[in-house]
Amino acid sequence: MSLELVPEDSKVLHERCEPFNPRSPDFNLEMLVTEMFITMKQSGGIGLAAPQVGVNKRLFIMTVEGEDFICINPSIVKASKETDFLAEGCLSFPGKRVLVERPSWVRVRYQTITGITKNVRLRGMQARCFQHELDHINGVTFLDRGKAIDVALQHSRSQDQ
Ligand code: CO
């Protein structure tokens, strides 16, 4: 089953999400994550954060360069001084593109669905997507990071986050 993306003016997209307790008995984490992957793929995105489907928790998923990530309570440990500019898309703002400057690589930490803590260095599109999703769970959208540029919808389908 796919989930509904909340409208762009929803409060949950603009507030800091709560830490996620993977052992919480009243939360079916596996079902949520499975449905988030379905929703992301159906929408043609590469990343999706819990608040985008109305869940105020520090959790996001991404599929970038053939690799699936489930990131629980994620954080950036270190970011490069070098930066890149990229026109980002976002599933919560269909058809919009924003040119955003971000560190080129990041060392990150997050918990996996099985409770293991990962420490990894991401670069390229994986680093870019991780930072975009981390913004989401901090209540920050790409519109807070730059100015929307006009791009036709059909050009923006492949890399929405
Ligand atoms: Co987004």
Q: 68-105, pLDDT tens digit by residue? A: 999 999 999 999 999 999 999 999 999 899 999 999 99
CA of 94 to the centre of ligand 1 (A): 10
Q: How many CB atoms lie within 10 A of CB 134?
A: 20
Confidence of residue 115 (pLDDT cuts 50, 70, 90): confident
Name beta bridge partners: 102. 84
Strands across the sheet containing 117-123: 47-49, 59-64, 67-79, 105-111, 117-123
Report CA(12)–ligand 1 centroid distance (Å): 13
Look up 15 and say whether it is catalytic.
Answer: no
Classify burial at 143, counting beta carbons within 10 Å of its beta carbon; exposed 0-12, middle 13-18, buried 19 or more.
middle
Q: What is the pLDDT of residue 23?
A: 76
Angle (nearest 5°) at CA 48 between 46 and 51: 165
* Least reliable range by pLDDT among 9-18, 68-77, 152-161: 152-161
Mean pLDDT of 109-130: 96
The confidence score (pLDDT) of residue 60 equals 98
- Asked if 57 and 17 touch (Cβ cutoff 8 Å), the reply is yes
What is the distance between the alpha carbons of residues 21 and 115, in angstroms, rounded to a whole number? 10
Span from the CA of 114 to the centroid of ligand 1 (angstroms): 25
Mean pLDDT of 126-140: 98
From 15, 18, 35, 133, active-site residue: 133
Range among 17-21, 74-78, 110-114 with highest mean pLDDT value: 74-78
What's the 68 CA to ligand 1 centre distance in angstroms?
A: 17
